[in-house]
Amino acid sequence: MKKLSVNLDHIATLREARKENFPDPVQAAILCEIGGADGITVHLRQDRRHIKERDLELLRKVIKTELNLEMAPTEEMLNIALNYKPDWVTLVPESPEEVTTQGGLDLLKTYSIVKEIVNKLREAEIKVSIFIEPDKEQIEKAKELNASAIEINTDLYTKDIKNREKYLKEIEEASKFASSLSLSVHAGHGLNYHNIIPLLKIKEIEEFAIGFSIIARAVYVGLKEAVYEMKRLIIEGEK
């Protein structure tokens, strides 16, 4: 059965907009789990614009599902991951001026840096996923790096409606190729209650990481219900 990991960055973004101590990502995580989430994802950015170390610390103690920490491949973030021991680390590119993650991590350019970090995370028994484009060369590098999974960047698929079929085919081919190399396949970025439906037919995709659309939906129906609706879509869509 395909899994859903809910990204809670935007709960923390709302909190930081007023520099309050609410809404609390930990309370949100509990509601997500009640709604059927299989995991919780947070991105601890180097500028700490939303998620903080304290959120990570409390989430590690409280949630019952898998905790996935998105982070840049830096020494600082490595040390934080080794301290809090999430179930998963997803390595992502990061730039201070971006609103959200732009593009996948280029493993051809960052191979040596990423290799050292992956090795240390695996030594600590933390599973590693790498956020990359649906490109065979990048997937081969992820396999060489001994990653447990890749997360395919679905951004172009979600934005370029005219060429959506082309990007859907690329994602499907990349998923099959990664699976043939014994890599688990995750997917995320820009997914919502409508554009996820064609991706549910790609049997190699095991997990979806979704944040903004669920949090936005929660404004109208509540967080537990918003997660439940997405999880129900995923279950029905893969039948």
Active site amino acids: 43, 70, 189
CB atoms within 10 A of CB 172: 19
Helix, strand or coil, per DSSP, at residue 7:
strand
Q: Reduce the DSSP state of residue 225 to 3 states and report it.
A: helix
DSSP letters spanning 114-146: HHHHHHHHHHTT-EEEEEE-S-HHHHHHHHHTT
Taking the C-alpha atoms of residue 59 and residue 43, their distance in angstroms, rounded to an integer, is: 12
Give the chain's length.
Answer: 239
Closest CA to 208 of 21, 25, 38: 38
Task: Compute the C-alpha angle 16/22/23, nearest 5°.
Answer: 90
